[in-house]
Structure 1
């Protein structure tokens, strides 16, 4: 099952995606995040019999527009860790992204002139939590996963490396495309290819099972620090092939589009617009 947050002239609504351009409204819920607050959210979505609507890609909003927490994981793909000249970690590297950083999966990303010098792409698998998780064991963690989506962890490298804290280069307003929808856990087979394209040229490619810490291990680790709530998002890290690690370095230019595809989850595409 695929669930989306779709824009309309009257706001947004949660919907069950039927085809690439049609969906059934889930009446009473403004977005997928609201729906996930219900313990029986999957049953509600499966049984929804609202209006069948058509939508364009640009009608899609960030699938969970305002999660309470967005927890990002750095240096979590083995090939990316090696290209950055680091050793494999023994514990996850965590940082946060605020909800204001999220934008629709096909929205333009507007970049201010003071932050457009070292723009980089980072295609990532996002895990969406389906119920409150506190001190969960990895062996039990799968049942806390509502589903998966695609995230564009758009990065301003010059801001990121001003200090030892990465957050400031990772949370610019409306810089992270998120979607196109949530594919529920029972409809997704982990391990397919994650690929990132800049203007159609493949820049990143790896199977998602190259993760050092998989979704279950991350839920265990994070939920022993603070609880994860329904609708919270874990952004699991990016594979090798980022522009900052290339020789010579390569960054995103004005008007260039970053497209990210994950087998079984779909694709997102954000055009870069310098303000």
Structure 2
């Protein structure tokens, strides 16, 4: 099942995508779904980020080859950091390149986990019980600022630096999915989630030991090798097998 957040004539809401239509769900997509009876042709709506999370928790260096291309060895434990909710944008929205502050902005295609209910201290064996589904993500990063600052908050926290979408896929096994990033149609990243150092259940257990997760919170699982720069005018697409494709264009920040 694909759950989307959308805007259409008459307002904004959540819905389930069924072929070429979207069936409206009220008031939210958590728990037992309540269908309102309204339905829109998919061509008449604009998809937004699947949810506006209270927080985005991201995982660094979670593919061995990416850890090495960044000049380090794979970490023994997950490396966590956060991106502000104000960084979140949806499919088709623009990534704003902060030219006045950065000279190197990179794409990082990732599988994202969307939490389905309030939880804390979740054992890996029960992680699936707290997951609503999965979506595509781009952990956009000002690479020069990341190196300059020695920590990652500013580099990864700019407005528009967390594209998510196009929807939440609830019926997929995250253990071995192809993940591909293209820039202007050229493949730049290509891997599988089976190559994650720390898999999804492990990440949920680790993160939930640190902080309470709320419905709609997002965990970014890490990016594979092949990260590289974006330029103004580029179109970047992150595709996750059996989930979907997320496309955003890069513009200059005002």
The reply to whether TM is greater than 0.5 is yes
CA distance in 1, matches of 2:231, 2:215: 36
Match for residue 44 of structure 1 among 33, 40, 46: 33
Look up the match of 2:242: 264
Does the aligned pair in 2 maintain the 1:189–1:264 contact within 8 Å? no
For structure 2, the residue ranges without an aligned partner over 5 or more in a row are none
Match in the other structure for 1:25: 24
Which residue of structure 2 aligns with residue 14 of structure 1?
14
User: What CA deviation, in whole Å up to 9, does each residue of 1:139-182 have, x standing for no partner?
Assistant: 11111111000011111112222212112111111232111000
Q: TM-score, normalised by structure 2?
A: 0.94
Q: Counterparts in 2 of 1:160-239, with a 5 A limit? A: 160-184=146-170, 186-188=171-173, 190-239=175-224
Structure 1 segments unaligned to the other structure (5+ residues): 244-250
Q: Give the Cα separation in 2 of the matches to 1:57 and 1:119.
A: 33
Alignment deviations for residues 32-67 of structure 1 (CA, whole Å, 9 cap, x no partner): xx432xxxx2x315xx252221234981111012x1
CA shift digits 1:174-206 (9 cap, x unpaired) = 23211100001x344531210000111100000
The DSSP-based 3-state class of the residue aligned with 2:125 is helix
**Contact 1:57-1:106 within 8 A present in 2 as well:** no
SS at match of 1:217: helix
Cα deviations by residue, 1:235-254 (Å, 9 ceiling, x for unpaired): 111000011xxxxxxx2111
- Alignment partners' CA distance in 2, 1:122 and 1:71: 15
CA distance in 1, matches of 2:94, 2:245: 15
- Bigger share in strand: 2
State the shift of 1:209 in Å: 1.2
Counterpart residue number, 1:246: none
SS of equivalent to 1:179: strand
- Count of matched residue pairs: 253
Matched, 1:107 2:93: yes
Give the aligned partner of residue 29 of structure 2. 35
User: RMSD in angstroms over aligned alpha carbons?
Assistant: 1.7
Alpha-carbon deviation of 1:8? 2.1
CA drift of 1:97 comes to: 0.5
